[in-house]
Structure 1
């Protein structure tokens, strides 16, 4: 019997999600791992499929920036769609067996997996043939509304991208776009249909079970990720705020970053942040939890190695002395725009943005 390993990743920056798909797809293609189902949430983002029309983003760039919404072009099918917190995104990365070499059947199976989950909450949904996705209401009905978007990509029967099920999604953000290019119908969520919020872990469980049933597979839980912390060390406030950047030694990548480090056995993220501060800078500070936890892949390792990182900020006096630990060979205090330009990863940039918000 085939096996599907289910990864429940929580928040994933959209660029990191694309990278995870790429790495898992290559790992599956090389036979280094089996089929996987990635379940996650993205920060607010608009994605453009291969058939997207740019005019279906109706908000201007100023409004998108004010809402903190980014735009990405992708190789999936479909038009423009929205991802954001409260929406369960699923990326099935399956190497379809010969008897399933049928694109339409694959899309129908993804739809069926979602419809079975909705039925568990008493929500009747189905496809509308002329429009992609999973819908509540009949074709031609004025109250037809989409509850899940589907946009897939297949290459030599290896699947990537997938679906986005609106669970507790902020539906106002769909006003930024013409969802999937469809002007004649609306968008809804499980929360709106039920009149109450829905526990995301329960929906994740139901989706995992449904996909495994529809694709005749055994469910396998993913191994736990590596746990790390990031710490943005700040001095000054407002327009005068500066960020401490440290440069990793060449054998460790040679790039600039804020402080990062792994949790040691038995540590909490807050304890790890205190320890990393002292070990890497000799600063004794009290970190502030930024309530930002996200997942990403570590480097280019195959099969992918997953990391879950908690972000913190720490604030020091203008004359505080920094003494570098063994992992870095240089440091600089830089203004916020320079820090955001220099940092190589979305998660580190988000850590700085959240730290800056505290200093405003």
Structure 2
């Protein structure tokens, strides 16, 4: 029996999710890993499939910016769809065996995994042949409403992309688009149908169970390889705010970053954040938890090395003196646009953005 390793990753920035899919896919093709199912949540984002029509994004660029919603082109099938917090996104990374190498069967299997998951919560869902995804209500019914989107990509019988199940999703964001190009029907969520918020971990557990059954696999629970912290050190507020950037030594990559580091054994994230600030800047100050935790792949290693990172902020006075640690060869206090332009990773930029929304000392 094949194994299916299930990774429950929490928040993943969309571009980091694309990288994860690529790395897991390459590792699967090289038989460095078995089949995997990545379960995660994305920040608000619109994704365009190969058949997407731009006019199916009905919101203006200004409205999207106001709502904090980004737009990405993808190589999956389908039109435009929305991802956001409270929605469980699943990326099955499967190398289909010869007996399952049928695109329609694979899509039906993904639908079945979602339908069986919803049944466990008392929701009767099904497919509507003329429309992709998983639905509540019957074809032709005025109350037909979509609860799960499906958009898959297959190459050399390796599957990527996958599905999005609306659990506690902000349904107002679907008004920014014509979901999957379907104007005749609405969108719903488990929360709306059941009348109360639904535990995302419980839904993920059900998805892991049902997809393992649908694909005749033995379940393995995946884990992250490394836990780290990122700390944005900020002085001032508003247009006058400055962010501390540290430049890594050439042998460590030579790029600019915030304070970063890994958790030591037995250390909590807040303890690691305080220690890294002291070691890398010479400052001994309180840190503010930004309630930002996300996962990503470290570098280009195969199999992928998974990292879970916690974001923190430190607010300092304008005359604060910095003493560099051995991992960096320069530092600068820069304005916010410069900081966001220099930082090479989305997670670091998000940490800075959240730190700037925190009140100063």
Which residue of structure 1 aligns with residue 115 of structure 2?
115
Which residue of structure 1 aligns with residue 331 of structure 2?
331
Q: Is the 8 Å Cα contact of residues 115 and 134 (structure 2) preserved in structure 1?
A: yes
- Cα deviation for residue 224 of structure 1 reads 3.6
* Aligned-partner SS, 1:8: strand
After superposition, give the CA deviation of every residue in 1:27-52 in whole Å (9 maximum; x if it has no partner).
00111111000000000000000000
* Aligned-partner SS, 2:112: helix
Which residue of structure 2 aligns with residue 164 of structure 1?
164
Which residue of structure 2 aligns with residue 255 of structure 1?
255
- Cα deviation for residue 359 of structure 1 reads 4.3
Q: Is the 8 Å Cα contact of residues 224 and 305 (structure 2) preserved in structure 1?
A: no
Distance 1:250 1:83 in 2: 38
Which residue of structure 1 aligns with residue 347 of structure 2?
347
After superposition, give the CA deviation of every residue in 1:33-89 in whole Å (9 maximum; x if it has no partner).
110000000000000000000000000000100000000000000000000000000
* Aligned-partner SS, 1:318: coil
Which residue of structure 1 aligns with residue 180 of structure 2?
180
Distance 2:225 2:89 in 1: 19
- Cα deviation for residue 305 of structure 1 reads 0.6
Which residue of structure 2 aligns with residue 151 of structure 1?
151
Which residue of structure 2 aligns with residue 130 of structure 1?
130
Distance 2:130 2:346 in 1: 37
Structure 2 residues not aligned, in runs of 5+: none
- Cα deviation for residue 225 of structure 1 reads 3.4
Which residue of structure 2 aligns with residue 220 of structure 1?
220
* Aligned-partner SS, 2:333: strand
The number of equivalent residue pairs is 360
Which residue of structure 2 aligns with residue 287 of structure 1?
287
After superposition, give the CA deviation of every residue in 1:167-223 in whole Å (9 maximum; x if it has no partner).
010000000000000000000001101001111111101100100101000000113
TM-score (norm 2): 0.99
Distance 1:34 1:305 in 2: 15
* Aligned-partner SS, 1:76: coil
Distance 2:3 2:155 in 1: 20
RMSD: 0.7
Distance 1:225 1:171 in 2: 34
Which residue of structure 2 aligns with residue 244 of structure 1?
244
Question: Bigger shift: 144-153 or 224-233?
Answer: 224-233
1:102 is aligned to 2:102: yes
Q: Is the 8 Å Cα contact of residues 224 and 308 (structure 2) preserved in structure 1?
A: no
Which residue of structure 2 aligns with residue 37 of structure 1?
37
* Aligned-partner SS, 2:40: strand
List structure 1 runs of 4+ shifted beyond 2 angstroms.
none
* Aligned-partner SS, 2:172: helix
* Aligned-partner SS, 1:358: coil
Q: Is the 8 Å Cα contact of residues 241 and 359 (structure 1) preserved in structure 2?
A: no
Which residue of structure 2 aligns with residue 319 of structure 1?
319
Structure 1 residues not aligned, in runs of 5+: none
Q: Is the 8 Å Cα contact of residues 279 and 325 (structure 1) preserved in structure 2?
A: yes
After superposition, give the CA deviation of every residue in 1:111-158 in whole Å (9 maximum; x if it has no partner).
000000100111000000000000001111111000000000000100
Distance 1:215 1:251 in 2: 45
- Cα deviation for residue 251 of structure 1 reads 1.3
Q: Is the 8 Å Cα contact of residues 277 and 283 (structure 1) preserved in structure 2?
A: yes
Distance 1:174 1:225 in 2: 35
TM-score (norm 1): 0.99
After superposition, give the CA deviation of every residue in 1:236-274 in whole Å (9 maximum; x if it has no partner).
111100000001111111110111000001111000010
1:64 is aligned to 2:64: yes
Which residue of structure 2 aligns with residue 308 of structure 1?
308
Q: Is the 8 Å Cα contact of residues 44 and 69 (structure 1) preserved in structure 2?
A: yes
* Aligned-partner SS, 2:223: coil
